[in-house]
Every structure is written in C-alpha cells, then in structure tokens.
C-alpha cells in the first residue's frame, strides 16, 4: 500500500503557508493541501483523510489547538503538529498535553527539522493505521472463532 502521502497545512498567514508549501514541493513528493481558513480545512478533512496536519497557533477564526482537537475527532489517525510563535510557547506546551499533539515547532522554523518531524509523523500515522487494521482483523477472527465454537457446542451438546 504505497499511495502518495497527504500533508495538510493550515495558517491564516498566506506568507507562511506559501513558504511551507514551496519548501515541501521542492523537497518532497507529498500531496499538499493548504488552507488559510481552519474552518475550510475542517470541512476538507471530513471529505478525505490526511497523514499529517501542520497548523498555526494564532488564527482569528479558530486557534490552532482547538482546530487540531476537532481534527482529531474527525481523523484520529492523522499526526497533528502545531506551529507557534515564541510568544505563545507556554500555551502551546500546555496544549500539547491537553490536545494530544505529536509535536510543536517554533517560528521561525528550520526546514530540515520540519521535514524530519513530518516524515516521522507519516510513519507514526501509518503505524497507527496498520495497528488499527490488525486489531480489527484480530477482532474479526475472534468473532469467527466464537461463532465456530457456538456452532460446535450446538452440534455436539
């Protein structure tokens, strides 16, 4: 299963969004979805899955932490990364625990670091997805076993 990985970028600052996008397009072959509106991003999320979400913290419509929390409800497997200015660091750290974020990056960010975090994030969400599949396969097998057992009991007792 080697489809193209999808990265979602959300920042109300077009400048930041375009810089992130430009870098990832230059250096990777990910499919990039970028949004200046977190609400539009949430809508897009309910239409299709993504592997990694990178969201800015300070956005007027919806702050990055609330956005990522809602994103988790829609796409629990996606890895969530917060991008934050230095001034909101304290809030960000608190929220990492609250909203179960994978990582936070400080602005100005290092492209190399970003790329690494995204790569690990993709791996992480792939592992989760696989784990999820294995678990449901196990559950399925388990159910079948029970049914067989049930039939055996009915047939022989």
Partner 1 sequence: MTDRTPAPEGAEALAEQVTQARLATLGMLVAGLAHELNTPLGALNSNHDSLRRALEKLQAILADEVVSPDELEEVRRIVRAVDGILRVNDMAVERMSSLVRDLRNFGRVDRAELDLADLHEGLDSTLAILAHQLTAIEVVREYRPLPRIECRPQQLNQVFMNLLLNARQATPDGGRITIHTGTTGDAIEIRITDTGTGIRPEHLARIFDPGFTTKGNRVGMGLGLLISRQIVERHGGRLLVRSTPGQGATFTVRLPLDPAGGRTGTIPDAEVNS
Residue 33 within binding range of partner 1, rule CB under 8 A: no
Minimum distance, C-beta of residue 78 to partner 1, in the bound complex (Å) = 23
Minimum distance, C-beta of residue 127 to partner 1, in the bound complex (Å) = 28
Residue 34 within binding range of partner 1, rule CB under 8 A: no
Q: Is the torsion defined by CA of 134, 140, 145, 146 positive or negative?
A: positive
3-state SS of 43-95? HHHHHCCCCEEEEECCCCCCCHHHHHHHHHHHCCCCEEEEEECHHHHHHHHHH
Q: Which stretch binds partner 1 (CB under 8 A): 21-29, 39-47, 66-74, 143-151?
A: 21-29
The neighbouring-strand residues paired with 52 are 7, 79
CA-nearest of 79, 76, 131 to 104 is 79
Minimum distance, C-beta of residue 22 to partner 1, in the bound complex (Å) = 5
45 or 92, CB closer to partner 1?
Answer: 92
Near partner 1 by CB under 8 A: residue from 1, 2, 3, 86 = 86
Residue 130 within binding range of partner 1, rule CB under 8 A: no
Residue 107 within binding range of partner 1, rule CB under 8 A: yes
Q: Is 54 exposed, middle or buried (0-12, 13-18, 19+ CB in 10 A)?
A: buried
Residues at the contact surface with partner 1, assessed by CB under 8 A: 13-16, 18-23, 25-27, 58, 60, 85-87, 107-112
């Amino acid at each position: 299963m080697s489809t193209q990985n999808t990265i979602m970028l959300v920042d109300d600052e077009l400048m930041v969004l375009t810089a992130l996008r430009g870098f990832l397009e230059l250096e990777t072959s990910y499919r990039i979805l970028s949004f200046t509106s977190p609400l539009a991003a949430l809508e897009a999320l309910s239409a299709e899955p993504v592997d990694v979400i990178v969201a800015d913290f300070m956005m007027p419509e919806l702050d990055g932490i609330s956005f990522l929390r809602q994103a988790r409800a829609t796409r629990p497997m996606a890895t969530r990364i917060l991008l934050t200015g230095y001034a909101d660091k304290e809030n960000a750290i608190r929220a990492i625990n609250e909203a179960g974020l994978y990582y936070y990056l400080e602005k100005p960010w290092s492209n190399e670091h970003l790329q690494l975090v995204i790569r690990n994030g993709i791996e992480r969400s792939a592992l989760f997805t696989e784990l999820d599949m294995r678990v449901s396969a196990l559950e399925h097998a388990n159910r079948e076993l029970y049914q067989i057992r049930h039939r055996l009991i009915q047939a022989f007792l």
